[in-house]
Amino acid sequence: MSTRKQFCTFSLNGLFFGVEVLRVQEVIRYQEMTAVPLAPSMVEGLINLRGQIVTAIDLRRRLELPPRTGDSLPLNVVVRSDDGAVSLLVDEIGDVVEIDDDAFERKPETLTGVARELVQGVYKLRDRLLLVLDTEKTINVTSPGGHAPKSVS
Amino acid sequence: MTTNDELQQQLIQDLLIESFEGLDRFDREMLALEKGAGTTDTPNVIFRVIHTIKGTAGCLGLTKIESVAHVGENLLSALREGKVSVSPPLINALLAYADALREMLRSLETERHEGEADYSELLRRLQDLNCETAVPVPSAAPPAPAGWGLFEEEPAAETPVTPPQTTVAKVLPIMPESEPAARTGSGGNSANAPSAADSAIRVNVDQLDKLMNLVGELVLARNQIVQHCGPAQDHGLLAASQRLNLITTELQEGVMKTRMQPIGNIWAKFPRVVRDVASELGKEVQLVMEGNQTELDRTIIEAIKDPLTHIVRNAIDHGIEGPAERRAAGKPETGMLILRAFHEGGQVNIEIMDDGRGVNIVRVKQKAIERGLVSVEQAGRLSDREALNLIFLPGFSTAEKVTNVSGRGVGMDVVKTNIEKIGGAVDVVSDSGRGSTVKIKIPLTLAIIPALIVTSGGERFAIPQVSLLELVRLEDDQKRKGIELLCGTPVYRLRGRLLPLCYLNQQLKLVPATAGQLAADSAQADAVNMVVLQADGRQFGLVVDQINDTEEIVVKPLGKQLKGISCFAGATIMGDGRVALILDVLGLAQHANIVSEVRDRAQPDKARADQTAGDRQTLLLFDAGASSRMAIPLSMVARLEEFPRKSVERSGDQEVIQYRGQIIPLIRVADHIARVGIPPQDLSDPMQVVIYAENGRSVGLVVGRIDDIVEEVITVKRDSSGRGTLGSVVIKEKVTDLLDVSAIIRAADPAFYLDHPATLAA
């Protein structure tokens, strides 16, 4: 007996990633952004998502991949989290794929770098590999600086 | 589909909300009864509250609550029928009984069962009280009013004493609690008219927040539509967009209002708090509450609940004396505690006044020294006002002994922190032997605040208006001379005081430069814009590229990724739909090392210490050039300017100056107030000019030197001493004359107040 899961897929620097469809709130095209001074470098800025202020994280920088080249604009994959929505900036958006759990394999022990921390595992598709991201870990970026978080009212 | 379990949970939830509200009302009515202030209906109201709880609990199978409620109900029924009379033991037992019910309900709320506590002793007390009556009430058949059959496990055993009201019991707890004062004021009693109860419903707060968000979005969409329709020729479209515009505004206001709650909602529990604390300490205290209906945003209401309770307890514990001491001091034995709330200047003011012994300043200083909060020498220098503020220091407590009620030393500093967290301010005034007053100023709402929008490094930032003191713009000469460097740190002399400066673009690392470089660069810029801010009692100047406008902004929190950046308090969405960051002035000041992170409150700033009671007015102090200090209300001042003497021109026999495209007359104040024997001194160059504007006309008042801006209570000590003045007042221990501006203008330029169109200021 096997279960099937749906993943929202996207590409990043030629790699094929997926996040569970249930975690994804929506996918939207590039939005104008407000940069946040003093923020961690992977925070690209803030976008206005229908009145909600959403932090956009540059997934390339988060995964320590080379920066985006050319003038194509990234897309927002807005994922839900306990702390409200967060946007992940990706190169291109793919289909929603439904995959059998049988195709899952844990990440190889030899995986290094940030990917080791953020990739949950790999699905073996017919023609390529799908890297599944742990969204909670991915958006868990804390700002530098020694100041204690201030409560915001 | 709703399962039975969910339905049960929902019903329990409703029971909890209704019962807590009902018990609060129970407390209030009980206290009214104790004071003899109850109406004939009071026993009925109390009875109905308990009856509703009992009935609902019974229906939901909450047998413990039901049985406890039942015992009290019997006693209340006897009370209602006049079989038992009001006595202190009765009141005490019934209040304890209400607490027992609360305890069980709370346990039900958190642990989903009624709790293990044993109330048999309390129940016996209640029964004993009931048995003291001549006619024992059969405990098996509680009197049940008619018209409330749904949750009744047995048919009404007696004819209800007041059948018309009892039917109302069903809808009773739905209304937001109306205050006793309001209630008597409106002529009605607590049995709400059914129409009022029927017209109110409960709404989940999240729902309101969601609505608020959506309305904010609608406002933005509306702005865009209106912009696009501007050039359109289609009349139908234009009319529709206008209508959309109006409706959106109204909707926005309406939704805002739904979040407002009268402060009476949190005050409702104070009569009980006061009674309990006072009786515990053996004191007699009368509580007076004014301004129950003052409305506040619900988030603020939540935030001030605990600080207020603490202040109230403190006032009774430390402020109000015991009856013997009061008698000795020639005061009535019963102490007064007054809670007052009112709106003023877009803020809510809350005052907690007591007529107790006041704060003993000598003891405060002693204590502060003992605790190592200030040095002996520092303490000696402190003014009384400054010394009073010591009580807000962490780890301070003046209580001679730590009581159960207060004095654990975690008090006032927490109060202060909590109030400042929501953008408020707290201050104490004390009159030794006659009482003290705690004053709290808080914003109306946290959701929407007035803010100044500035630009720096191409980005817009919002600065909450509460921390804003003034704006300074340095042009031409001023900017070169104005900003000085102190070992590379830029400072500015603001009316004789050194103001530390920080550059927003440098603080936020928008430019890779040091403050010194930026100060040097600013000499090259067209003008320097400075926002004078106050953080934690310190003033500093924030240099920005551009000052845009003030706006009401909707505050939204930042995601956790950005929470650690202390410079930002949140974000907001601007009119064009883009996001702008809101500066956290205190965080920014800490980031720029203007205030150290460990709050050094030992030397409270003058500005803060000056905020005292009464009808305050902000005054501009200046030296008129005739060696006397003068003052005019700041509200009359449009701007303060400096002009080189050479720019003065003449028109007829009037000195004039070109100013912002206008020709305005200059009036030398010294000429009009000259004292006998003191010749007017030579005016400085550049001349200091106060621009005074009225009805679109301006006039420049030439003064010797601008001294300061102060907030003072004006009480004229001496009537007019010479022409051109309204009288003399004492400001900061110095005699100051109040300038009669209109008299001087009339004398110099009779045309100024005439009705015909201005010829000079056209």
For residue B577, count other CB atoms closer than 10 A to its CB.
15
Mean pLDDT of B289-313: 85
Is a pLDDT exceeding 60 seen at residue B687?
yes
- Give whole-number Cα distances, A139 to A14, A54, A122, B659, in Å: 21, 12, 20, 56
Out of B57-71, B539-553, B709-723, pick the least confident.
B709-723
Chain B residues touching residue A145 (CB < 8 angstroms)? 564-566
Query: What's at B96, amino acid-wise?
Result: A
Q: In which band, very low, low, confident or very high, does the pLDDT at B593 lie, cut at 50, 70 and 90?
A: confident
Is a pLDDT exceeding 70 seen at residue B603?
no
B453: left (phi over 0), alpha (psi -120 to 50) or beta: beta
How large a percentage of chain B has pLDDT more than 70? 77
Distance to chain B for A59, nearest Cα, Å: 14
Nearest-by-CA chain A residue for B214: A51
**Length of chain B in terms of residues written:** 762
Q: Which residues pair with A43 in a beta bridge?
A: A57
What does the pLDDT read at residue A75? 93
Longest dimension (CA), chain B: 102
What does the pLDDT read at residue B163? 39
Residue pLDDT, tens place only, B659-674: 777 788 888 877 777 5
Mean pLDDT of B494-519: 81
Q: What distance in Å separates the CA atoms of residue A77 and residue A25, rounded to the nearest whole number?
A: 8
Is a pLDDT exceeding 90 seen at residue B408?
no
Q: In which band, very low, low, confident or very high, does the pLDDT at B627 lie, cut at 50, 70 and 90?
A: low
Strand bridging mode A86-90 / A52-58: parallel
Query: What's at B689, amino acid-wise?
Result: V
Q: Can you give the three-state secondary structure of B36-99, one letter per residue?
A: CCCCCCHHHHHHHHHHHHHHHHHHCCCHHHHHHHHHHHHHHHHHHCCCCCCCHHHHHHHHHHHH
H-helix or E-strand spanning residue B530: strand B527-535
Is a pLDDT exceeding 70 seen at residue B233?
yes
The more confident residue out of A109 and B537 is: A109
What are phi and psi for residue A149, nearest 5 degrees?
-60, 135
Q: Is the Cα dihedral B7, B13, B17, B23 positive or negative?
A: positive
Interface list for chain B against chain A, based on CB atoms closer than 8 Å: 213-214, 216-217, 220, 299, 303, 421-423, 446, 457, 459, 508-510, 555-571, 573, 577-581, 584, 586-587, 590-591, 597
Q: Is B505 exposed, middle or buried (0-12, 13-18, 19+ CB in 10 A)?
A: buried
Q: What rounded mean pLDDT belongs to chain B?
A: 75
- Domain B616-753 CATH superfamily: CheA-289, Domain 4 (2.40.50.180)
Closest by Cα among B434, B430, B435, B589 to B501: B589
Q: What distance in Å separates the CA atoms of residue B578 and residue B223, rounded to the nearest whole number?
A: 13
Mean pLDDT of B387-407: 61
- Give whole-number Cα distances, B356 to B271, B501, B512, B665, in Å: 18, 44, 58, 56
Chain A residues touching residue B569 (CB < 8 angstroms)? 150, 152
Chain A residues touching residue B423 (CB < 8 angstroms)? 153
Q: What distance in Å separates the CA atoms of residue B163 and residue B165, rounded to the nearest whole number?
A: 6
Contact: A142, B561; criterion CB under 8 Å: yes
Contact B312, B352 (CB under 8 A): yes
Fold classification of B4-175 (topology level): Four Helix Bundle (Hemerythrin (Met), subunit A) (1.20.120)
What does the pLDDT read at residue B455? 93
Contact B275, B31 (CB under 8 A): yes
Is a pLDDT exceeding 90 seen at residue B496?
no
Contact: B564, A142; criterion CB under 8 Å: yes
Contact: A51, B421; criterion CB under 8 Å: no
What does the pLDDT read at residue B609? 37
Contact B389, B374 (CB under 8 A): no
For residue B162, count other CB atoms closer than 10 A to its CB.
17
What does the pLDDT read at residue B340? 92
Residue pLDDT, tens place only, A29-71: 998 899 999 998 899 999 988 778 899 999 999 998 888 887 8
Contact: A147, B565; criterion CB under 8 Å: yes
Contact: B573, A53; criterion CB under 8 Å: yes
H-helix or E-strand spanning residue B571: strand B568-573
Q: What distance in Å separates the CA atoms of residue B65 and residue B106, rounded to the nearest whole number?
A: 11
Fold classification of B205-258 (topology level): Helix Hairpins (1.10.287)
Structure tokens, B318: 């430390």
**Length of chain A in terms of residues written:** 153
- Which domains are delineated in chain A? 4-138 (2.40.50.180)
Q: In which band, very low, low, confident or very high, does the pLDDT at B325 lie, cut at 50, 70 and 90?
A: confident
Q: In which band, very low, low, confident or very high, does the pLDDT at A28 lie, cut at 50, 70 and 90?
A: very high
What are phi and psi for residue B497, nearest 5 degrees?
-110, 145
- Give whole-number Cα distances, B139 to A95, B74, B126, B163, B166, in Å: 72, 7, 12, 21, 21
Contact: A142, B560; criterion CB under 8 Å: yes
Contact: A152, B569; criterion CB under 8 Å: yes
Q: Count of A–B CB contacts within 8 Å?
A: 116
What does the pLDDT read at residue B151? 41
Residues 6+ apart with CB under 8 A from B383: B609
Is a pLDDT exceeding 90 seen at residue A19?
yes
Query: What's at B185, amino acid-wise?
Result: G
Contact B529, B546 (CB under 8 A): yes
Chain B residues touching residue A80 (CB < 8 angstroms)? none
Chain B residues touching residue A25 (CB < 8 angstroms)? none
What does the pLDDT read at residue B145? 42
Q: What distance in Å separates the CA atoms of residue B192 and residue B194, rounded to the nearest whole number?
A: 6
The more confident residue out of B247 and B193 is: B247
Distance to chain B for A16, nearest Cα, Å: 25
Q: What distance in Å separates the CA atoms of residue B546 and residue B461, rounded to the nearest whole number?
A: 10
ipTM greater than 0.90, yes or no? no
Nearest-by-CA chain A residue for B578: A48
Q: What distance in Å separates the CA atoms of residue B626 and residue B703, rounded to the nearest whole number?
A: 9
Place of tokens 């529990």: B269
Domain boundaries, chain B: 4-175, 205-258, 264-443, 448-609, 616-753
Residue pLDDT, tens place only, B331-356: 888 889 999 998 876 678 899 999 88
Q: In which band, very low, low, confident or very high, does the pLDDT at B538 lie, cut at 50, 70 and 90?
A: confident
Contact: B579, A47; criterion CB under 8 Å: yes
Chain B residues touching residue A34 (CB < 8 angstroms)? 459, 571, 578-581
Residue pLDDT, tens place only, B168-187: 333 333 334 333 433 333 33
> Was domain B264-443 assigned CATH 3.30.565.10?
yes
Place of tokens 């409305």: B295
What does the pLDDT read at residue B168? 35
B506, B565, B576, best to mutate vs chain A, most A CBs in 10 Å:
B565
Chain A residues touching residue B421 (CB < 8 angstroms)? 151, 153
H-helix or E-strand spanning residue B260: strand B260-262
Q: Which of B459, B556, B586 sits opposite A35 (nearest CB)?
A: B459
Contact: B563, A152; criterion CB under 8 Å: yes
Contact: A55, B559; criterion CB under 8 Å: yes
Rg of chain B in Å (alpha carbons)? 32
Q: Is B602 exposed, middle or buried (0-12, 13-18, 19+ CB in 10 A)?
A: middle
Is a pLDDT exceeding 90 seen at residue B698?
no
Fold classification of B448-609 (topology level): SH3 type barrels. (2.30.30)
Q: What distance in Å separates the CA atoms of residue B296 and residue B222, rounded to the nearest whole number?
A: 27
Q: What rounded mean pLDDT belongs to chain A?
A: 85
Q: What distance in Å separates the CA atoms of residue B19 and residue B23, rounded to the nearest whole number?
A: 6
What does the pLDDT read at residue B160? 41
How large a percentage of chain B has pLDDT more than 90? 5
Chain B residues touching residue A45 (CB < 8 angstroms)? 579
Residue pLDDT, tens place only, B39-92: 777 877 888 888 888 877 877 778 888 888 888 888 888 887 777 778 888 888
Nearest-by-CA chain A residue for B300: A153
What does the pLDDT read at residue A150? 36
